Amino acid sequence: MSQNTARLLLALAFVLGGAACAKGTPGNPTEPALDRGRDPGSVEADDRDDDRDDDRDDDDRPFTLALIGDTPYGQQKRDSFPALISLINADPQVERVIHIGDIKAGKNTLCTDAYFADIKAQFDTFQDPLVYTPGDNEWTDCHAGKKNGSYTPTERLQAVRALFFAPPGRTLGINSRKVRTQANDPANAQYVENVLWTRKGVTFATLNITGSNNDKNPWGALPADAGTYPSQATEQATRTQANAAWLARTFALATRRHAKAVVIGFQADMWDPAETIATLDAYDARVNQLGTLAAQFGKPVLLIMGDSHVWHLDNPYAAGASVARSLHASSYPVAENVTRLVVEGSDKGRTEYTRLTIDPKSSTPFTFVRVPLDPNAP
């Protein structure tokens, strides 16, 4: 081989290597390199990767998310949903959207595949990455007792996962982003909807904690094939295990990485003032775990939820939160560093989103602005 030919081949190899890197191999900065010493699907490897894309160009400047939930409820809200999406898309401050569940009304509305597909098509029009966590209305309450059709709720949860969480580990939206998913935890792999990511030193997570007393409320009459899907008791046990593990992992990661704050989204309002001790008792374990971990973490923690439909801001873990504490039979920890936001929703609430701005440099990092679709709405 001549010297010139060798040089040509060497140059060609260099060019081809660069082209390969540009398509997402470990040399490409748009995708994190795999740790060759670990199983890329393992929990350990998942910890190491931790959505490095989001943190690549980090600085200390504030950043903003749009928060929605319990929408669209009913035809009128469905008709206005594209306009709400357009309003969020046009907001130059927003870089990510979180929908904390309930994509339909809780009763007298069928949980059909066609309806789910319609909402998925709407979700696909968000310009920014959209993180969605399921609510009870799209699976837990999908049974004849709620007049939502003759379904088995766990079959509907499987349908939601297949449509909204494929492939696992990616957000929805036009500019989809990578997130960590519990699908990579062999002990809880079915919980693809539980995700986690980081941004500017802030740890975010979502959990499948639903209304209807966390699926303790009895299901109605079930179809003939109900036995082929997980029972209510099995569903409760496996989801309890998965949520406990994901919550512990979220705070462990935040502590290990010296996170500046933690933000957690789920559907259920575990302190719904319209409920009682008896109708909120299925949340007791999670309320205690959250309070314990938040108090140990010590830095700001934000809980985002819907379910009770009326925009509300407070701290149910404050020592003086007597009303919130009266809704749970057992005493739970004091954690003065927690903020709870309930987003506006349902067919009766104003159509809006909440603009959440987080300042990583601040000891009080969370700022909230309600943005209505109709500026003249009350």
Q: What is the pLDDT of residue 58?
A: 65
pLDDT in tens, 6-19: 443 333 333 333 33
Under DSSP, the state recorded for 170 is: B
What are φ and ψ of residue 367, in 5° steps?
-125, 135
* Tokens of residue 145, six digits: 């007792």
147: left (phi over 0), alpha (psi -120 to 50) or beta: left
Q: What is the pLDDT of residue 330?
A: 83
Q: How far apart are CA 44 and CA 302, in angstroms?
A: 26
Residue 203 has pLDDT above 50, yes or no: yes
> Is 24 or 274 the better-scoring residue by pLDDT?
274
pLDDT band at 37 (very low <50, low <70, confident <90, very high): very low
Q: How many other CB atoms are there within 10 angstroms of residue 178's CB atom? A: 20
List alpha helices for the chain, DSSP H.
3-22, 43-49, 52-55, 74-89, 113-123, 153-164, 211-215, 232-256, 284-297, 322-325
Q: What is the pLDDT of residue 105?
A: 94
Identify any residues that bridge with 261 across adjacent strands, giving them in sequence order: 202
Q: How many other CB atoms are there within 10 angstroms of residue 155's CB atom? A: 19
> Is 310 or 19 the better-scoring residue by pLDDT?
310
pLDDT band at 349 (very low <50, low <70, confident <90, very high): confident
Residue 280 has pLDDT above 50, yes or no: yes
Q: What is the pLDDT of residue 128?
A: 98
Determine the length of the chain: 378
Q: How far apart are CA 51 and CA 49, in angstroms?
A: 6
The lowest-confidence range among 46-50, 334-338, 344-348 is: 46-50
Identify any residues that bridge with 338 across adjacent strands, giving them in sequence order: 301
Q: Is 151 helix (H, G, I), strand (E, B) or coil?
A: coil
pTM (two decimals): 0.87
